[in-house]
Amino acid sequence: MTRMRRIATEEAFSVPEVAHALRDIVRGPSSSLDKLLCRGIYDAETDESGYASMNFLDGLLDVEGERLRQMDQYGVDMHLLSLTAPGVQMFDADTATDLAALANDRLAEVCARHPTRFAGLASFAPHSPKRAAREMERAMGPLGLNGFIVNSHTNGEYLDDPKYWDCLEAAEALNACIYIHPRAASDTLKGPLQDYGMDSAMWGYGVEVGTHMVRMMAAGVFDRFPKLKICVGHMGEAIPFWIWRITFMNSRAQAIGRAPKTELTMAEYFQRNFVLTTSGVEDPLALRYAIDKVGIDNVLWSIDYPYQPMEPAVAFMDAAPVSESERHQLYHGNAERIFHIAPLAD
């Protein structure tokens, strides 16, 4: 295989101030399912989940040391960095707004120090939509970042709610993609997801983001914002495999008045408004199906570092049963186009 640029598009980081604030949050009274993972990352003293033994926090905070060393070792040219889940969305609106701006400043500084190695997705506080829109403009303007990250629901609410549409309007106007990253299911969804390790990446995260995606499509959000691009990870959170049935059942729901009339079908919104990354799903059959379902222009490679190791993610894409031109798009071409990353000079 010809050596080609490798841009990984769902790569987590954090800053000490957010880590300390989340440690305080998980020590307080709350029934949030996010606390299971957050205790394991930010407060080993109270962790009951076993996550603390994986030492994710070091990988999140050390952006320019061990991460770069592994990137060099495994031939990863660039990480598209984003503030790790749950980002700023567990805080009150004022704290979330301040911490999002701080994290974005730190992210822009890292990208400026290593412009060929790091790009960045900006955080924002959806629970303060007008301030979030201003921060989004600052992130894509003076800070020079590459898009946005949101950790699915905010206070149990989703982006189909018009109260959050200032954020969607800003993203569309800026031609900037929003990456919807998982967080633990809301209190109204979490019931049977709390046992057997199902709360996070094994099952709960996909259920949660998949629910968010379907709500946005079924609500007609993309009639209001037809040029809005949404990125989701983990090979589409299973939606590529369900989209035929989602489309059929939604058309029936519309016909009997249980869902609003939309201009396009669910499948058409999925192909027009969503892009997918491979983060954490190293299955060649799933990759081929995703490409065939949404088109090669809409699938991007990623690792999900530090939660997933770099070496097997590179080996997976190097060996994937795709053509050479498809591999170029998966590894870097689509990321350059969707996230405004400058191509390498010839």
DSSP for 103-157, please give it. Answer: HHHHHHHHHHHSTTTEEEEBP--TTSHHHHHHHHHHHHTTT----EEE-S-BTTB
pLDDT of residue 15: 98
pLDDT of residue 50: 72
Spatial distance between the Cα atoms of 338 and 284, rounded to a whole number of angstroms: 23
Q: In what order do the strands lie in the sheet with 118-121?
A: 7-13, 78-83, 118-121
- Reported as a single tens digit per residue, the pLDDT across 173-189 is 999 999 999 999 988 89
164, part of any domain: yes
For residue 244, give the H/E element and its range.
helix 239-255
User: For the residues 256-271, what does the mean pLDDT come to?
Assistant: 98
162, part of any domain: yes
27, part of any domain: no
* CB 294, CB 308: distance < 8 Å: no
Spatial distance between the Cα atoms of 69 and 63, rounded to a whole number of angstroms: 10
Query: Is pLDDT at 49 greater than 70 in this prediction?
Result: no
34, part of any domain: no
Query: Is pLDDT at 89 greater than 80 in this prediction?
Result: yes
Give residues with Cβ within 8 angstroms of 291, minimum separation 6: 299, 322, 326
23, part of any domain: no
Percent of the chain with pLDDT over 90: 86
Q: ∠ CA(307), CA(290), CA(203), 5° rounding?
A: 45
Cis peptide before 142 (omega within 30 of 0): no
Domain range for 239: 7-18+55-338
Give the pLDDT band (50/70/90) at residue 128.
very high
46, part of any domain: no
Half-sphere exposure of 73 (CA within 13 A, CB side): 10
User: For the residues 92-101, what does the mean pLDDT come to?
Assistant: 98
Average pLDDT, the chain: 95
Closest CA to 267 of 289, 288, 249, 283: 249
Spatial distance between the Cα atoms of 330 and 298, rounded to a whole number of angstroms: 9
Spatial distance between the Cα atoms of 218 and 235, rounded to a whole number of angstroms: 21
pLDDT of residue 142: 98
pLDDT of residue 313: 98
- Reported as a single tens digit per residue, the pLDDT across 149-159 is 999 999 999 99
Q: Which of 116-125, 231-240, 252-261, 337-346 has the lowest mean pLDDT?
A: 337-346
Number of domains in the chain: 1
Choosing from 34, 43, 199, 304, which is the catalytic residue?
A: 304
Decide: helix, strand or coil at residue 157: strand
44, part of any domain: no
Q: Is 166 annotated as catalytic?
A: no
Closest CA to 165 of 124, 224, 212: 224
User: φ and ψ at 234, to 5 degrees?
Assistant: 55, 45
* CB 48, CB 116: distance < 8 Å: no
**To 10 degrees, what angle do helices 66-74 and 310-319 make?**
30
**For residue 161, what is the domain's CATH number?**
3.20.20.140
Query: Is pLDDT at 229 greater than 60 in this prediction?
Result: yes
For residues 36 and 251, the model is more confident at: 251
42, part of any domain: no
User: For the residues 138-142, what does the mean pLDDT come to?
Assistant: 98
